[in-house]
Amino acid sequence: MTAELMRGGPISKRIREHIRERVEVLQAKYGRGPGLAIVRAGDDPASVWYANTLSKAAEKVGITPRVVVLPADVSQATFEEIVRSLNQDADVHGIILQEPYPSHIDGERLVSLLDPNKDVDGVHPLNAGYHFLGTPRFIPATPLGGLLLLEAYDVPLRGAEAVVVGRSNIVGKPMALLLLNRHATVTVCHSRTRDLAAVTRRADILCVAVGRPGLITGEMLKPGAVVVDFGTNPVGDNLVGDVDFATAVEVAAKITPVPGGTGPVTTAVLLRNVLNAFERFLGEPLTLDG
Ligand code: NDP
């Protein structure tokens, strides 16, 4: 068997086109467009790259980006003041606090200060709670993008045996909740899981967000499984997933490539969350919800 590739490009393009058109309509009606603030501290290369990429992607769909760069030795008090002022800023409808934070910074405290209505990353405890309760407002973009991929490629979720490897607050846990809320039977694995392969082999749908290149091999899959690989690991000049693609593609029915799978959808969904925040701010119906 050679698996069908679940590519993120077409879905990402559809979402971006929708946002661009909708922003034009809202701009004409209200004379204003959405704004996104991206706050980063220090010069972590991945963080710099992501802020620039996101900023360019935002501009292309009519969202005005504002990248706030803080020095690596920024004080907690100054960082908090920045968050408070962005909360108050009527031109900013979404705020992203980019990790990693400098080691002396209390990131949890910063996140708790965010205006939940501008928390387009879905990391504020209130938004995590709403998601937990099955009435989500903002869902982290990466797992929501994974779900949209599954839906776009007609993967049945109801009653499916789903396994999520990784339990971070930003990918693994919300992915598990998304699947559970769509009536899959969900198992979550992590670094203390006793026999990982025995669990992954049960999965009709396997979602992997670990950060270890090639952790999941073809022999750890059930034949015909659907595999969503969130891993983005730089190896030499390449980006590879957490799934060993060469062996997995022979066993799975569908699989996301890395790059070109979950990555492009993540950015589009994040922009979609900004559009939702702007629509809520204006009292308009949400056009890309659910
Ligand atoms: P974290 O480091 O926060 O979490 C990793 C998880 O993997 C933890 O729950 C950890 O378990 C678990 N884990 C570690 N080793 C093993 C193992 N040997 N077996 C089973 N589980 C293990 O990572 P993130 O969730 O932030 O990111 C995961 C991956 O997804 C990374 O490659 C990251 O780059 C990528 N990513 C991709 C995005 C995209 O757009 N595609 C966006 C965000 C992240 P424990 O909890 O026990 O420590």
Give the sheet arrangement for strand 35-41, strand by strand: 64-70, 35-41, 94-97
Residue 79 CB less than 6 A away from ligand 1: no
- The segments of the chain whose pLDDT lies below 50 read none
User: 286 CA to middle of ligand 1, Å?
Assistant: 31
Q: What's the CA-to-centroid distance between 181 and ligand 1, angstroms?
A: 22
Q: What is the DSSP string of the chain?
A: --PEE--SHHHHHHHHHHHHHHHHHHHHHHS---EEEEEEES--HHHHHHHHHHHHHHHHTT-EEEEEEE-TT--HHHHHHHHHHHHH-TT--EEEEPSPPPTTS-HHHHHHHS-GGG-TT--SHHHHHHHHTT--SS--HHHHHHHHHHHHTT---TT-EEEEE---TTTHHHHHHHHHHTT-EEEEE-TT-S-HHHHHTT-SEEEE----TT-B-GGGS-TT-EEEE---EEETTEEE-SB-HHHHTTT-SEE--TTTSHHHHHHHHHHHHHHHHHHHHHTPPPSS--
Atom of ligand 1 nearest to the CA of 242: 32
What's the pLDDT tens digit per position in 190-234?
A: 999 999 999 999 999 999 999 999 999 999 999 999 999 999 999
pTM > 0.95? yes
Nearest-atom number in ligand 1 for the CA of 171 is: 25
Looking at residue 289, what is its pLDDT? 67
- Domains in the chain and their CATH numbers? 30-115 (3.40.50.10860), 141-263 (3.40.50.720)
Residue 46 pLDDT: 87
User: 232, 217, 225: which is closest to 264 by C-alpha?
Assistant: 232
CB of 117 closer than 6 angstroms to any ligand 1 atom = no
Choosing from 15, 142, 191, 212 the residue with most ligand 1 atoms within 8 A of its CB, the one to mutate for a pocket test is 191
Does the beta carbon of 140 sit less than 6 angstroms from any atom of ligand 1? no
pLDDT in the model for residue 288: 81
Question: What is the tens place of the pLDDT at every residue in 224-273?
Answer: 999 999 999 999 999 999 999 999 999 999 999 999 999 999 999 999 99
Cα-to-centroid distance, 16 and ligand 1 (Å): 27
Evaluate: CB of 50 within 6 angstroms of ligand 1. no
